[in-house]
Structure 1
Amino acid sequence: MKIPDLPEPRSRHRLIAVLAVLVTVLVLAGIGVYGLITGPPTTNESGSDGSRPPGLVLTSPSHPVPTATQRLPTVRASDDPETFARNIATALFAWDTASGFMPLDYTSVILAVGDPSGAEQAGVASDIATYLPNREAWTELRHYATAQHLTIDEMFVPDVWDTAVDQAQPGQLAEGTIAYTIKGTRHRTGIWNGEDVTSEHPVAFTVFIVCAPTYDTCHLLRLSQLDNPLS
């Protein structure tokens, strides 16, 4: 039974220039990065006819929602790029509808480790939102105690990022800016007819971060569209 599925950046112009370089390189490589620049389209997990979200486990509406006992996940600070990217990924996929928290609460966890300049706050908030169920779907999923976590199978710096760095003009990329593509498995658990059920789904995405010497610790810049990573 399935369950539903860049010190502080020197200027905003620099980030725009970085994205411009990425666009040029990726177009030449035949890879779209619309999701990086504008953020992925809004996710709507409800059916077009207003029915339950696709793949949502069915259970008796009278089944009580578990009492909230969990805390929000955290993103551990790190000055190591790969470690930080892994921490971001793990926290991004860690949520529990029975925790008493809402999607915006989980979004705030990721925003807390975003670019301190605030230049990309709106953009990354939009990115994060597409990784989470919307409010309506969340409320529905709460009836089934749906929770999620991620296991990471593979992490690497995408080849296209190396190309972008090679072609960037001096000063276009803040030192310590890097991208990691992550491939893994999204696990969901829930309750169906009073029984525990689980589902698994492969996912892939890219995180864009900036670390030393720009910052003492790493910070998140943007996220790619889910399942449309750089390669």
Structure 2
Amino acid sequence: MDPANDRRRRRLLIALIAGGLALLLLVGVGIYGLLRGPATPGHDPASDPAPTSTDSAQSPRGTGPVAVPRTGGPEGFARNVAAALFTWDTASGYGPADYAQVLADVAAHDEADSFVGDVRSYLPSTEAWAQLRQYQTRQWLTIDEVVVPEAWATAVKQAAPGQIPAGATAYTITGTRHRDGTWGTQPVEASRRVSFTVFIVCARPIPGRGGTPGLCEVLRLSELDNPLR
């Protein structure tokens, strides 16, 4: 055997193996990126504290869109909106528009078009959904904290008469967005902290029913990770 030819074959084999490993690494990074979703500029997920709540909206695999309950009073409704906003499953047979529709169904009429635009910014695009479906990706939210931000109280005090609808409230929600899926035969998962503000409006308590809260509707959403404080 020619030693020179033997060395060339070994170098070629090493190059092919190295190239294959690099390709596997890129594919792995790609699916992790899809699962993780867009990162907030300047945000280091490793610095986030661990979740401290068990208020999670995880649904069984393959669950489709579910109507948003209007129960629980203003805060309960805001939690329900948040859960619906972040809960979806690409293996359910439904698409982003279907998950957006259940939120549009509880939108205040005057703000419906603007609110639907807000919702679209939270959901994957049709193209991204098709990619995520290859990995049977699903998402859900664990809520850690729901508060009325100080900035809202200030806005209410400074608003001109009629500028803010009667019964309107803002809730800033902090939690952890989870995603999981399958790459080949291996389960993969990722999570990151999120925060946002839900603006809602609720009718006055129904007379004669012991102060039962009236129905609530959602007005708008803040930009993701840019809530009122």
- TM-score w.r.t. the length of structure 2 is 0.69
Shift of 1:69: 4.4
The one of 172, 175, 182 aligned to 1:191? 182
The one of 105, 112, 125 aligned to 1:112? 105
Shift of 1:79: 5.9
Shift of 1:147: 0.3
* Distance of 1:84 and 1:138 partners within structure 2: 27
The one-letter code of the counterpart of 2:143 is I
* Distance of 2:64 and 2:148 partners within structure 1: 32
* Matched residue, 2:57: none
Residues 2-57 of structure 1: per-residue CA shift (max 9 Å, x gap): 2231xxxxxxxxxxxxxxxxxxxxxxxxxxxxxxxxxxxxx9xxxxxxxxxxxxxx
Q: Contact 2:64 / 2:93 at 8 angstroms: preserved in 1? A: no
Which segments of 5 or more consecutive residues in structure 1 lack a partner in the other structure?
Answer: 6-42, 44-67
Residues 189-222 of structure 1: per-residue CA shift (max 9 Å, x gap): 0001311111111000000000022992110000
* Distance of 2:169 and 2:120 partners within structure 1: 22
Question: Which 4+ runs in 1 deviate beyond 6 A?
Answer: none
Query: Are positions 1:146 and 2:137 aligned together?
Result: yes
The one-letter code of the counterpart of 1:126 is G
Query: Are positions 1:131 and 2:93 aligned together?
Result: no
- Other structure's SS at 2:223 match: coil
Q: Contact 2:63 / 2:88 at 8 angstroms: preserved in 1? A: no
Q: By percentage of residues, which structure has more helix?
A: 2
- TM-score w.r.t. the length of structure 1 is 0.69
Shift of 1:113: 0.5
- Computing the radius of gyration over CA atoms, which structure comes out larger, 1 or 2? 2
Identity %: 49
Q: Contact 1:123 / 1:222 at 8 angstroms: preserved in 2? A: yes
Provide the aligned C-alpha RMSD in A: 1.8
* Matched residue, 2:92: 99
Which segments of 5 or more consecutive residues in structure 2 lack a partner in the other structure?
Answer: 1-27, 39-60, 206-212
The one-letter code of the counterpart of 1:107 is A
